[in-house]
Amino acid sequence: MAILLDENTKVIVQGITGKQGTFHARSMIDYGTTVVAGVTPGKGGQEHLGVPVYDSMKEAVEATQATASVIFIPARFTYSAALEAIDAGIKLMTVITEGVPVRDTVRIKQRALENGVTMVGPNCPGLITPEASKIGIIPGEICKKGEVGIVSRSGTLTYEIIQNLTINGFGQSTCVGLGGDPIKGIDFNECLKWFEDDPQTKQIVLVGEIGGTGEQDAADLVKAEITKPVYGFIAGQTAPPGKQMGHAGAIVHGKSGTAKEKMRILSEAGITTVRTPSEIPMKMKENM
């Protein structure tokens, strides 16, 4: 069953005629994603990658009845593109763009919440339900259909963990890349609840990073509500306090945001923690 998307999810690509939009839309289509339209203002009426292009989200949604969109729009235009998607009636919006101003993200998130829109990102790799559909840039070839749900703040680290699981025979239900910005749409807890309620998902992998308190909040939820086995890894174990590592969401202020402290809190909540990504499938095999 998986979460958030399946082979029937109709997707619109915002910015489909741009370089990044074209490249990743083609990958999504090749993977089997039901991409029903693209939107690029001024290019309506054309066809690109075999799908119709519209000038606005309103036109695209009315013509296709799509419920999901993915945004490959430059950061300075992301705010208007996101609001256009929300106002058009999109219910799952994935913002791949990095460098979106925090002020814009806050306003987008508020509008999404007010309209019941599930927002993934910004600055994220997107999500994938293996052998069914993907939205974003996660490489489909490393994924395998199965029973492990993955939710992660990291991008490329997620790919490493997915590949390790696949090689060791552990397929995935859905993999969700939350994004690395300090302000973003959905967080760990939303995904953990969805995975808990999903009959296909039997085990969960949580991939955190230094900085912020999302992992601590997730630990509280796991301890109180999650019955399925959860495995946790925190990236940035050698990062010095106060130093930015990669992006603004991974800045440690004080003790609470360090990898060591987060791993302690996850472990105390009953989450099986590991020091390297390759240990995750090993721990799963031990618990079989």
- The pLDDT tens digits for 225-274 are 999 999 999 987 765 655 555 554 445 455 557 888 999 999 999 999 99
Residue 62 belongs to a domain: yes
d(CA 269, CA 216) in angstroms, rounded, equals: 9
Judged by average pLDDT, the poorest of 35-44, 62-71, 193-202, 206-215 is 206-215
Does residue 40 have a pLDDT over 90? yes
Write down the pLDDT at residue 65.
98
**261 phi/psi in degrees, rounded to 5:** -70, -40
pLDDT band at 38 (very low <50, low <70, confident <90, very high): very high
Q: Residues 37, 90: contact at Cβ < 8 Å?
A: no
| CATH number for the domain that contains residue 257 | 3.40.50.261
User: Ramachandran region of residue 39, left (φ > 0), alpha (ψ -120 to 50) or beta?
Assistant: beta
Q: Which of residues 247 and 120 earns the better pLDDT score? A: 120
What does the pLDDT average to over 57-73? 98
**Which DSSP string corresponds to 210-229?**
SSSSHHHHHHHHHHHH--S-
Write the burial class of residue 71 (CB in 10 Å: 0-12 exposed, 13-18 middle, 19+ buried): buried
Of 184, 178, 265, give the one whose Cα is nearest residue 218.
265
Whole-structure pTM value: 0.94
- Residues with catalytic roles: 247
Are 19 and 151 found together in one domain? no
Which of 8-17, 36-45, 203-212 shows the lowest mean pLDDT across its residues?
203-212
Domain containing residue 266: 138-286
Q: What is the pLDDT of residue 258?
A: 84
Residues 146 and 47 both lie in one domain:
no
Q: Is residue 4 part of a domain?
A: no
